[in-house]
Amino acid sequence: MATKSSKPRKTTSSRQKTNQTASTVTPIGPAGNLRETQNRAAAPAEQRIQAEVRIEEEIRIRAYELFEERGRQEGFHDEDWSRAEAEIMAKYRRDKSA
């Protein structure tokens, strides 16, 4: 009959861990470069989103101004929005081309 030993068994992997030293060198490779590339790409995307939000807010304000100019008549919100959008987008196209 076999008896169990109370000593813990050493496996090859546990022996290898004790012989290895931790590396203090930071690896340079695609992962580091990828992170930097993503950060650079995220900034223009975030700026574009902020610009779109700003443009939409300007359109909203101009559409409300058109509503007030008409004497606050109901039922023309689509026309007001379309006209405001055309005006604001034309302004941004002019500014961009200049």
7-49 pLDDT, tens digit per residue, is: 666 655 545 555 556 656 655 555 555 555 556 666 788 999 9
Instruction: Give dist(CA 41, CA 49) in Å, integer.
Output: 13
Q: Is the pLDDT of residue 4 over 90?
A: no
Per-residue pLDDT tens for 49-66?
999 999 999 999 999 999
Per-residue pLDDT tens for 57-96?
999 999 999 999 999 999 999 999 999 999 999 998 988 7
Chain centre distance of CA 8: 51
What is the reported pTM? Answer: 0.55
Q: What is the DSSP string of 13-53?
A: HHHHHHH-----PPP-SHHHHHHHHHHHHHHHHHHHHHHHH
